[in-house]
Amino acid sequence: MKRKTWTKADIELLRRDYPDTPSKILADRFDCTVRAVYGKARALGVCKTQAYMNSPHAYKFRQGDNTGNAFKFKPGHRPHNKGKKGWQAGGNAHKTQFKPGYRSHTWQPIGTERICKDGYLQRKVTDTRHSPRDWVGVHIILWKEHRGEIPKNHMVVFRNGDKKDLQIDNLELITRAENMQRNSIHRYPPALKETIKLAGKLRRTIHEKQN
């Protein structure tokens, strides 16, 4: 499996869910290895809660930890109640084990909307447990519905800068290079800012005519 690239959204969810969620489930959600989950949590200084560490789930997923060895049966050990009616290997542990199809308490159904850390309204469109793929900006969905797919190295931005103003007329398509330029022109005089914006608009118009 290739090296995991952690997005801001991934890190936010890891900080929130790591303390009380089995690392294997988090690994499936983030599409990475359990080792990658441990490593990132350690780098962020995030730890499991004491309640989780005392739970049966902790022993299965922790690495380099011998907690519980004193309570493990030795090879050849015969439980004193083996053969008795109602006896089941593992005692009542099966009652707390995750069942097939288990979903974390943080799981949300497709169609759910949320405000991300950067202030954009996002909607859950898939349920792959890979947050960057599952959650898409509503402004992007709106653009695709009215204008089609977004070309490579382009992005959809808000004309008036208001991320809550979700109207198609308030959205425009610009290149990532132009977005970087816009973010750097704030130090220029107002007249020059307007000239730069108009030049960018002219380039986009020419590009649209040619395609």
What integer is the mean pLDDT of 121-144? 91
Whole-angstrom Cα distance, residue 61 to residue 58? 6
pLDDT higher than 80, residue 18:
yes
pLDDT higher than 50, residue 162:
yes
pTM of the model: 0.43
What integer is the mean pLDDT of 15-44? 88
- For Cα atoms 206, 197, 167, give the angle at the middle one, nearest 5 degrees: 85
- pLDDT tens, residue by residue, 72-117: 555 666 655 555 565 555 556 555 555 666 667 778 888 888 898 8
Domains and CATH numbers, the chain: 8-95 (no CATH), 113-210 (3.90.75)
Tell me what pLDDT residue 168 has. 94
Compute how many other C-beta atoms are within 10 angstroms of the C-beta atom of residue 32.
21
